[in-house]
Amino acid sequence: MDNVTKLLERLEASTDPFEAKINDRYVYIKTFGCRWSNKILINEYICLEIAKALKLPIPNGGFCLVNDETDITDVIDDIGYDENINGVAFYSEKIHNVNPSIKSINVVNNIVNKDEINSIILFDHLVYNIDRHKGNLLINYGGGINGFKMYIIDHSHVFNLQHNWNVQGLQKLIISDDYKDKIILDLNYKEVYKYFYELRILNEESLKSAAENFKKVITEEFLDNIFNSIPKVWIYNLEDLIKLKEYILYRLNNIDYMVNMIINYNIIKGGV
């Protein structure tokens, strides 16, 4: 596990992350024992591993360690007097030359991996991510004349209950068929999905193909491997974690319904 070399800045975001360095790499980290609980670290890690397996455009990340050797000089005034940030943290590598905005159809047309939006929107439905706003879909302008590349980031508030999931809450969601919820589309249509719909990049054939890939990749054994690798110090209640795996599989089992919901949502919004 990599040690965090230096904390550079505490960012203004709900999860109180830091920009930091791990040797010569610039990263963002979310620390152990944060005010939102370690469940946001679990959320980030599970989503990272699923996204990587699906070959989605997500920055590299993983576990790192903040300890007494970490240089905190630049952020000492931003750490609470009773706050202990030492421990196993989650990091995501910084993508440089980015803009968190999709301002026009022209921008979308110049995204080299724009077809991946079909897998991204399904991924957001799988993990119940209502937070795919313009700040969490980054457009990398480093490619110049070759076009832009989009990346997905920030999966701390997922699984519908965000950082509050537990056995009872997740069971209620399963019983209530929350896979039918349209809130992910409602909250993210204007900022993220709209132009992809208008250009027919989001389309039935691509969505169904993505769904078949999800079914092939995300098996119970695959999830077991992820869950078994979660740092023990992050886990408060093992039963909650077991139920979370069940919740993900339940949503996967209903992914065909989600595909049809996404397609029909375009029709409702006036698409063709």
Q: pLDDT tens digits for 27-79? A: 999 999 877 789 999 999 999 999 999 999 999 999 999 999 999 999 999 99
Q: Kindly state the tokens that stand for 94.
A: 């910084």
Query: How much of the chain, in percent, has pLDDT values that exceed 90?
Result: 81
Q: Residue 132: what pLDDT?
A: 86
Per-residue burial over 24-40, b = 16 or more CB atoms within 10 Å of its CB, e = otherwise: eeebbbbbbbbebebbb
Alpha-carbon distance of 16 to 79, in angstroms, equals 10
What is the model's pTM?
A: 0.95
Give me the mean pLDDT over the 79-101 stretch: 91
Q: For residue range 208-244, what is the model confidence (pLDDT) as tens digits?
A: 999 999 999 999 999 999 999 999 999 999 999 999 9
pLDDT band at 83 (very low <50, low <70, confident <90, very high): confident
Cβ–Cβ < 8 Å for 95, 154: no
**Residues with Cβ within 8 Å of residue 252, at least 6 apart in sequence:** 126, 214, 215, 218
pLDDT band at 133 (very low <50, low <70, confident <90, very high): confident
pLDDT band at 272 (very low <50, low <70, confident <90, very high): very low
